Amino acid sequence: MQIRLALPSDLPPTRDRLRTVFGPQRPEHRMDPVSQLIKAMLGARTYDEVTWAAFVRLRSAFPDWAALVHATQQDLEPLIDPVTFADQKARQLPILVRVILLKRGELSLDFLAAEPVDEALAWLMRLPGVGVKAAAAVLNFSTLNQRALVVDTHVHRVARRLGLTARGGDLREAYDSLMDQVPADWGPEQVFELHWLLKPHGQSICTHFDPACGLCALKDACPRVGVAGDQESRIIAFDA
Ligand code: SF4
């Protein structure tokens, strides 16, 4: 049975405590939504620095993303390797661009700014290969600047351990659960900041295999304090 505590399972105090460690988080640069989608697709199950390097190589070769329509797997795979599943992603990207062009008549996702967030998320998730993490990244990280929390593997793990979301749920369930808990007066910037506090916390303190609970700013109220080395971490280490 999931145990929920009043604190710090509430998002504002969790945010406030992590802020004391990582500082306030604000976006420095927002990409257009199509670029953000392509970056998110490259980034699935891949370290950020590897993703960014692949994205820069791809962008240099395709300054106009529409040209990806004519690209082959053989064209793209050497550019994006060593991202995880580079062969699959090299096949998916031209299809993704083609489908957006077919649906919209242009390679733009700017129209999503006028849609309710849930509908925009659903529209994106109907694109081939686009899951809730990539869809939320497009909505929240890009110039769309919408209220959608990006739940990646680090955010998901920390949220589970804090009791903010169910331990057996998938990313979509975690997204829904966390968005239900986002205070009504939080806008896109606050949701953005929550992601960029939970993620580094998951990367540096609440890690998969060796969480440093003794150093954790949330330890006094975390229901999983002392979780180091448990089987849950090993089973769901690559659930993004
Ligand atoms: S106390 Fe441990 S398990 Fe809980 S959030 Fe902190 S590092 Fe993670």
What is the number of helices (H) and of strands (E) in the chain?
11, 0
Overall pTM surpassing 0.95 (yes/no)? no
Say whether pLDDT at 122 is over 70.
yes
Do 111 and 85 fall within a single domain?
yes
pLDDT of residue 168: 86
What are the start-end ranges of the E strands in the chain?
none
Question: Would you say residue 3 lies in a domain?
Answer: no
Do 135 and 192 fall within a single domain?
no
Ligand 1 near 31 CB (within 6 A): no
pLDDT of residue 221: 80
- Look at residues 216, 203, 125 and name the one whose alpha carbon lies nearest to residue 157: 203
Print the domain residue range for 63: 33-141
**Which H or E element spans position 177?**
helix 171-181
Do 183 and 229 fall within a single domain?
yes
Structural domain ending residue among the three candidates 141, 166, 188: 141
Do 107 and 206 fall within a single domain?
no
Ligand 1 centre to CA of 159 (Å) is 10
**CA separation, residue 77 to residues 115, 202, 208 (Å):** 34, 30, 29
Chain segment 68-91, per-residue pLDDT in tens:
999 999 999 999 999 999 999 999
pLDDT of residue 229: 57
Q: Which two tokens stand for residue 66?
A: 């529409």
Ligand 1 near 225 CB (within 6 A): yes
Q: Which atom of ligand 1 is nearest to the CA of 161?
A: 3
In contact, 157 and 114? CB cutoff 8 Å: no
Structural domain ending residue among the three candidates 141, 171, 191: 141
pLDDT of residue 159: 96
Ligand 1 near 164 CB (within 6 A): no
Residue of higher predicted confidence among 10 and 85: 85
Domain of residue 231, CATH code: 1.10.1670.10
Q: Which atom of ligand 1 is nearest to the CA of 218?
A: 6
Query: How does residue 230 score in pLDDT terms, banded at 50, 70 and 90?
Result: low
Question: Would you say residue 4 lies in a domain?
Answer: no
Query: What is the domain count for the chain?
Result: 2
Report d(CA 21, CA 38) in Å as an integer: 31
User: How much is the mean pLDDT over the chain?
Assistant: 92
Ligand 1 near 161 CB (within 6 A): yes
Chain segment 36-47, per-residue pLDDT in tens:
999 999 999 999
Say whether pLDDT at 194 is over 80.
yes
Ligand 1 centre to CA of 223 (Å) is 8
Do 16 and 64 fall within a single domain?
no
Chain segment 140-191, per-residue pLDDT in tens:
999 999 999 999 999 999 999 999 998 888 999 999 999 999 999 999 999 9
Query: How does residue 235 score in pLDDT terms, banded at 50, 70 and 90?
Result: very low
Say whether pLDDT at 6 is over 80.
no
The fraction of the chain above a pLDDT of 90, given in percent, is: 88
Domain of residue 43, CATH code: 1.10.340.30
Do 15 and 39 fall within a single domain?
no
Ligand 1 near 227 CB (within 6 A): yes
pLDDT of residue 232: 55
Question: Would you say residue 5 lies in a domain?
Answer: no
Do 179 and 126 fall within a single domain?
no
Structural domain ending residue among the three candidates 141, 161, 186: 141
